Structure 1
Amino acid sequence: MEELIHIESTEETYQEHPFIPNRKLNYLPNQIIISSTKFTRVEQKLFEMFVNQINYAMIKANHSLIVRIPIVEVKKFVRASQILEVTHSMASKVMTLFDMNNPQHRFAHIPIFTLVAYNQDNSGFLEFRTNSLFTPYLASLGSEYTKYDYKTIMGFKSIYSSLLYKLVRMQLGQRKTNFTYSVIGLKAFLQVDKKYDDLKDLKRNVLAPAIKELAEMPIPIEIEITNTGGKIRNVTHFDFKITTTLDISRKEKEDFKFAVAQNPEAVFAQIEHIIRSEYTFSKAQQQQIIDTQELLNIFINLHLEIISGIHPQIRNKTKWMLACLGLINTKINAVSKD
């Protein structure tokens, strides 16, 4: 864990971060990603809404933050009957920062908010004010931070899925697809440090459902966990292996190149069949793609990405493919550079 930041308690000075709608990404320092806060899933969604509105370009370590979120946005994720109880609980939340591989050696408990106010003075906003002790941690974004998708984090059903998603995004941001965590640290991170002493129960009730939900995302992340320590009673650490759709796509492309080298005629016969049967190209477009090597190479590359799940936003793959090939004029959202 990084050195803990110390700040003397003084009178709060606040800096408001204006609400910006439709922000697609959330950012958090890695030290906050690896922390434990006893959030319910609804409380966690409110915290992510707060994080979504932090403007790191203007944040000051010696200023507490004010973030106001329109109530109409809040009600997309929190039922009206929940708001009083949930906001009351949020006001007293404490974040624990610790080392995941040695969580009992060194840690700090930090209050997050000094105020959580709902529709104060009929403002129409849910207002968060951070504790001056917490703001310096937010301000320490630097190069050690995690970027993750806002819509994805808000869509998870389980709190375990959302926590594991952020942990995986942190590791992928550091270009790590293999990593190890202690069982004690992982349980603390997943807020089950006082539950599931039997690791079979931990895997069945926490890890397996979370892994399943991550694998079912529009852009899936596949997670394989193995034990370090032999027999289940001796396990002290879990080894993680992460596979993303990008990895799957690269493997598909490698397999394709190998297949071409082994039997090019059979492979290109299959490609021609795909062009004619899986897309609704006109006959002229089909022939143009088949006869033009550059277009054929682009088609193969993009088709492999589609079947690997890299472009889940595509509604009409024929139209999208034609646009990528430059055969029609239309706006497209994603084109492979590989």
Structure 2
Amino acid sequence: MRKLDLWASDRNFNTEDLDDSKFYYVVEHNDLITKARHDLTARQLKIMDFVISKIKPSDTSFNIVRTSMYEITNILGLTRSGKNYSDIVNNINEMRKKDVFIYSEQEKKMTITGWFSDIDVWENGQIELRINQNFAPYLLSLKESYTQYLLLDTIQLNSKYSILLYKLMREADKDYGKKKTVLSGTPDEFKEWLGAPESYAFKDLNKNVFQKAINEINLKINDMELEMFTANRGRKVVQVDIRNHFIKNINLIDNNLQKVPLDDWTK
């Protein structure tokens, strides 16, 4: 791929406050969280959440997402540099080519697709991209079976395991924080959900995935206090429960967390 003469004239093309953008909602169908299988890195997961946050409840088709290197590096907390800009282009291009497998329980079918259908990058740092149309049932006109969370949450997590576990905990929270949330599964199911190596024994899964993800989420996400419990059959761990002990006080409202709701998808 030819290297563009990047990025001497880059600038901020965004008309909105970039800090406000971090408080936009990411809204996706539950199947995209629990049944989609892919191999995105932590940065690619954040880029995808950023792009999804541009979708509005009134959208009936995927619009061209117009953004810039300036905006993406600001949102992700990266230094503006030629290296980071080139890395972002490479990440987005990889997302276009990487397979995503989504199983539909209702239709009994597997959809295999890539995240983006096309991408344009200008020498001044502007970017235009479009989400692949195959994602329409999972991102557009959602009325039920969806999960929403603030972009601010996932962009501050550094591990892909932390991001994916965070999303699973949000999806499992059917009472919106009014009761304790429990996410249950076998070690093999968690390896599949979190994209952990199949070769991991439970001790590796616990050390390299669970503990690191739980510790990071507890440190950075205000309304999560996760703890892991296991059930054994003999010496073998056969079930893992991850519980969120945090219960929201509905009488307390953090105005910052409601700073810029583009639309309330729960209405």
Q: TM-score, normalised to structure 1's length?
A: 0.59
2:224 is aligned to 221
C-alpha distance in 2, partners of 1:37/1:19?
33
Higher relative contact order (CA 8 A, sep 6+): 2
1:236 corresponds to: 238
Tell me which residue corresponds to 2:85. 80
How much does 1:155 deviate? Answer: 0.5
1:24-173 equivalence runs, <5 A: 24=23, 25-34=25-34, 35-60=36-61, 64-76=62-74, 77=76, 79-98=84-103, 107-119=110-122, 122=123, 124-139=125-140, 141-173=142-174
Measure the CA separation in 2 of the matches of 1:229 and 1:134: 39
Q: How far apart in 1 are the matches of 2:121 and 2:174? A: 35
Long gaps (5+) in structure 1: 1-17, 251-300, 314-332, 334-338
Quote the Cα distance in structure 1 between the aligned partners of 2:42 and 2:183.
26
Alpha carbons of structure 1 residues 205 and 80: separation in structure 2 relative to 1, 3 Å: same
Q: What CA distance in whole angstroms lies between the structure 2 residues aligned with 1:65 and 1:311?
A: 32
Q: How does 1:255-270 map to 2 (within 5 A)?
A: none
TM-score by length of 2: 0.73
Please state how far the C-alpha of 1:195 moved relative to its aligned partner: 3.7
Shift of 1:245: 5.2
Q: 1:30 to 1:232 in 2, by over 3 A?
A: farther
Question: Which amino acid letter does the alignment assign opposite residue 67 of structure 1?
Answer: V
* Greater percentage in helix: 1
CA contact (8 A) 2:28 2:138 kept: no
1:71–1:124 CA contact under 8 A, matched in 2: yes
Question: Residue 181 of structure 2 aligns with which residue?
Answer: 177
Mapped contact 1:90–1:116 kept (Cα < 8 A): no
Check conservation: 2:95, 2:114, Cα contact below 8 A. Answer: no
Amino acid at match of 1:97: I
Partner Cα distance (2:97, 2:16) in 1: 26
The answer for the alignment partner of 1:272 in structure 2 is: none
- AA partner of residue 89 (structure 2): L
Query: Which of the two has higher C-alpha Rg?
Result: 1
Name the residue aligned to 1:187: 191
What does the per-residue CA deviation read over 1:28-76, in whole Å, with 9 as the maximum and x for residues that have no partner? 111112222211111112111101101121223xxx4421223211122
CA distance in 1, matches of 2:92, 2:28: 22
Which residue number in structure 1 is paired with residue 204 of structure 2? 201
Match of 2:11 in 1: none
Q: In terms of mean alpha carbon deviation, does 18-27 or 77-86 score higher?
A: 18-27
**Cα deviation digits, residues 271-329 of structure 1 (max 9, x gap):** xxxxxxxxxxxxxxxxxxxxxxxxxxxxxx9xxx7xxxx8697xxxxxxxxxxxxxxxx
Q: Judging changes above 3 Å, is the alpha-carbon distance between structure 1 residues 106 and 222 closer, same or farther for their aligned structure 2 residues? A: farther
Aligned-residue sequence identity (percent) comes to 24
1:184 deviation in Å? 2.1
User: What is the alpha-carbon root mean square deviation over aligned residues?
Assistant: 3.1
Distance 2:42 2:212 in 1: 15
CA distance 1:29–1:240, shift in 2 (3 Å):
same
Judging changes above 3 Å, is the alpha-carbon distance between structure 1 residues 140 and 187 closer, same or farther for their aligned structure 2 residues? farther
Query: What is the identity, as a one-letter code, of the residue corresponding to 2:99?
Result: V
List alignment gaps of at least 5 residues for structure 2. Answer: 1-13, 79-83, 260-267
Task: Letter of the 1:68 partner, please give it.
Answer: R
Amino acid at match of 1:59: T
How far the C-alpha of 1:211 sits from its partner, in A, is 0.4
